[in-house]
Structure 1
Amino acid sequence: MSAVRTVAGDLPAERLGVCDAHDHLFFGSPRLPGQELRSAAAARAELQAFAAQGGGAVVQWTPYGLGRRAADLPALSRETGVHIVAATGLHQAVHYDDRTLAGLRGGLAEVFVAELTDGIGTSGVRAGLIKVAGGFHALDAHARWTLAAAAEAHRATGAPIAVHLELGTGAPDVLDLLCGELAVPPSRVILGHLNRSPDPVLHRQAAESGCFLAFDGPSRAHHATDWRMPDALRALADAGHGDRLLLGGDTTTASARSVDGGPGMPYLLRRVRPRLAAELGEELVRRILTDNPGRAFAVEWPDPVAR
């Protein structure tokens, strides 16, 4: 059975509901000292605020070693009624110390597969996607290593691969490696942060490959990109790629949470959704928030669990 692997078990795609396709409930990186997402109470409040706007599901892209707190996710899902999808994977090298990376050499794909099939650590919570990252307009050795491991884990499980594009760049290199050399079906690849580089030619080429395109923000550093998002989505939809589009909030710091005065998860539905509906039409926005995430994250898992 094709299903989305949530922290509470495998879920038919049509039951996912309105989905924030890229966000973070817990996250911590040495690149963002003092801004870690660690509070379970704040995560609960953020999910409740999202649910109050009609939200039904959140896909957490926090990968290995960055404070996922997988054991806390099932209770948060039960208490708020919001489905949560957890990630395995590995971010850019700058987010880790040398000892952590050295411990993964020689067995990265095996870690990904174990977290997808057996569970993350001792939590028993199974990941539903693999999150990796490219670089700024290029791929370094670390990115190539993690992308290769992601491809191997995908072949073993069918799990989708979500890719952080640095400032929205580097999609051609990622697709050449993942879908070309490593033969991952484009329909199993999700490119993140396309809104951060509003290049219509790059967007169209990526969409024509057959991958999913995630527009996730708002931007904190490049505000000029935000107002271009409706035009970018319209151009892709007009070109026949409306079924490839995803939306997310990508809350990565404590100050960005709505409960701490930032836009947070509810902003996606409170402000982004009505703006896009006014410019693109209610039906297209509905499909982007409900139908497309189900297709992007649903998998014929090798060991499905009936719920």
Structure 2
Amino acid sequence: MTGAAAVPVAAGRGAGSGLLCTVAGPLPASAVRGPVLAHEHLALDLSRGTGPGAVLGARHRCAIAAELAAVRREFGLALVIELTCRGMGRDLAGLARIAAASGVAVVAATGWYYEPFHPPGLDRAHPERLAETLIEEIRDGRGGIRPGVIGEVGSHGDVPSGPEARVLTAAALAARATGLPVATHARLGRGGRAQLELLTAAGLPPDRIALGHQDLLDDPAVHRELAAAGAYVGFDTVGKEDYQSDAVRLRLLLALLEAGHADRVLLSCDVSRHRYLAGEGGTGYGHLFRSFVPRLRAAGADAELIDGLTRRNPLRFLTGRDLPYGTTGGDPS
């Protein structure tokens, strides 16, 4: 490793600091008193790869802010981990406006998405050079905004392509140098094992990794394996019934909880098209708390477990530090 190893963690941020890097500046994790959405999009443009509906643009900004504010009032939503990165139509200034208008803190991301969305030339770049690009942004920010997570970096098969492997390795190197965690995109839940192997081979501890979209993979054994290795398992497409029913998601989640891995789960809705917004008839950002959490509660989850799943787990993922139950937060219902 070259320059990436020599860059120190920025003051007041990184694993163990207890501070979140939000679009409005540093925020103590202990000040997050309500639930967290662990994998969302508030501003993105994937239209060139998946069609014109895969957009959350400036014209949707007011509706998104209003919806987040409503979820904050109804369920106490305190923080959104926004995983739109390079190549996905990221809009840092737009995120800052949404956070200010909604009263919900937002953590922004950096990194590169999976291969169809890579910019020209990325397939030839060395992982260390890519890592240096990420480290510079994490250290210096863009327009006064610093990312607080690396993601969603990813792949779209059982084994990452060559360019995807380089991006994942670069993400791990940058995470090691800065203390930020890495969140992945595993298309349709596939490839989580390979992603974990690549990231840990580059020296990133499993507990700094969240493997995305595992609720789209109906394989409890894989979920147990990933969680037992120490990684976070993303049940982060809740409400996307076109991909997987919430009934199946609940069954898979309960199996993972029963296996003793409640501290390895991250929950979210992954709103990634404007038709998913509540104002356009979609399930919206509040579906997790309005529909899925009550079903989880009916299956036997108590307030402490729900607080762990919706608040303490994502905050531990971001900071590397545990928060106790009972001093802040609670059951988002």
TM value normalised by structure 1 = 0.90
2:242 aligned residue: 221
The higher-RCO structure (CA 8 Å, 6+ apart) is: 1
Query: Against the structure 1 CA distance between its residues 19 and 166, is the aligned structure 2 distance closer, same or farther, given a 3 Å change threshold?
Result: same
| 1:56 aligned residue | 78
Q: Which residue of 2 aligns with 1:32?
A: 50
CA distance in 2 between partners of 1:255 and 1:142 (Å)? 31
Q: Which amino acid is the alignment partner of residue 190 of structure 1?
A: A
> How big is the shift at 1:280?
3.7
Q: Which residue of 2 aligns with 1:295?
A: 316
CA distance in 2, matches of 1:269, 1:53: 9
Q: Which of 245, 252, 275 pairs up with 2:295?
A: 275
CA distance in 1, matches of 2:320, 2:93: 23
Whether 1:12 aligns to 2:58 is: no
**Alignment length, in residue pairs?**
295
- Output the CA distance in 2 between the equivalents of 1:280 and 1:251: 27
| 2:324 paired residue number | none
Answer whether contact 2:82 2:107 (CA < 8 A) is retained.
yes
Q: For the residues of structure 2 that align with 1:28 and 1:175, how far apart are their CA atoms? A: 27
Question: How far apart in 2 are the matches of 1:299 and 1:85?
Answer: 15
Residue aligned with 2:49, SS: coil
Q: Tell me the distance in 1 between the aligned counterparts of 2:119 and 2:178.
A: 28
8 Å contact kept, 1:255–1:261: yes
Contact 2:131 2:173 in 1 (8 A): yes
Q: CA offset at residue 97 of structure 1?
A: 4.7
Q: Please tell me whether the aligned partners of residues 27 and 67 of structure 1 are also in contact (alpha carbons under 8 angstroms).
A: yes
Question: The residue matched to 1:53 in structure 2 has which SS?
Answer: helix
Relative to the length of structure 2, the TM-score reads 0.83
The one-letter code of the counterpart of 2:298 is: A
User: 3-state DSSP class of the match of 1:77?
Assistant: helix
Contact 1:3/1:299 (<8 A) preserved: no
Query: How far is the alpha carbon of 1:223 from its aligned partner?
Result: 3.2
Q: Which moved more, 1:90-99 or 1:190-199?
A: 90-99
Contact 1:192 1:213 survives alignment (8 Å): yes
Instruction: Please state how far the C-alpha of 1:67 moved relative to its aligned partner.
Output: 1.8
Query: Where do residues 162-173 of structure 1 align in structure 2 (5 Å cutoff)?
Result: 162-173=183-194
RMSD: 1.9
Gap change, CA 1:126 and 1:97, over 3 Å in 2: closer
Report matched runs for 1:37-186 at 5 Å. 37-39=56-58, 40-54=61-75, 55-98=77-120, 101=122, 107-120=129-142, 123-131=143-151, 132-179=153-200, 181-186=201-206
Distance 1:85 1:295 in 2: 14
**Deviations 1:208-242 (Å, cap 9, x if unpaired)?**
01011110122353334x31222222222222211
Q: Provide, for residues 172-218 of structure 1, a one-character-per-residue CA deviation record: whole Å limited to 9, x for no partner.
A: 11111111x21210010001101000201000000001011110122
Partners of 1:168 and 1:53 in 2: CA distance: 31
State the secondary structure of the residue aligned to 1:249.
Answer: coil
Give the secondary-structure state (helix, strand or coil) at the position aligned to 1:51. Answer: helix
- The whole-number CA distance in structure 2 between the counterparts of 1:78 and 1:176 is 38
Gaps of 5+ in 1: 301-307
In structure 2, stretches of 5+ residues that fail to align are: 1-16, 322-333
Amino acid of the structure 2 residue aligned with 1:235: A
Q: Shift in Å at residue 287 of structure 1?
A: 1.2
Q: What is the deviation of 1:162?
A: 0.3
Change (3 A) 1:139 1:81: same
Alignment of 1:191-206 (within 5 A): 191-206=211-226
Kindly state the Cα deviation for residue 104 of structure 1 after the two structures are TM-superposed.
6.4
Q: How many Å separate the matches in 2 of 1:18 and 1:75? A: 21
Aligned amino acid, residue 230 of structure 2:
G
Between the aligned partners of 1:274 and 1:253, the Cα distance in structure 2 is 25
| 2-structure distance, mates of 1:97, 1:178 | 22
C-alpha contact (below 8 Å) 2:65/2:98 kept by paired residues: yes
C-alpha change, 1:201 and 1:299, in structure 2 (3 Å) is: closer
Question: How far is the alpha carbon of 1:114 from its aligned partner?
Answer: 2.1
Q: Give the structure 2 partner of residue 286 of structure 1.
A: 307
Is the 2:22–2:106 Cα contact (8 Å) retained in structure 1? yes
Distance 2:96 2:320 in 1: 20
- What SS does the aligned partner of 1:65 have? coil
Amino acid of the structure 1 residue aligned with 2:56: L
Compared CA separation, residues 287 and 228, structure 1 to 2 (3 A): same
Instruction: Name the aligned partner's letter for residue 192 of structure 2.
Output: A
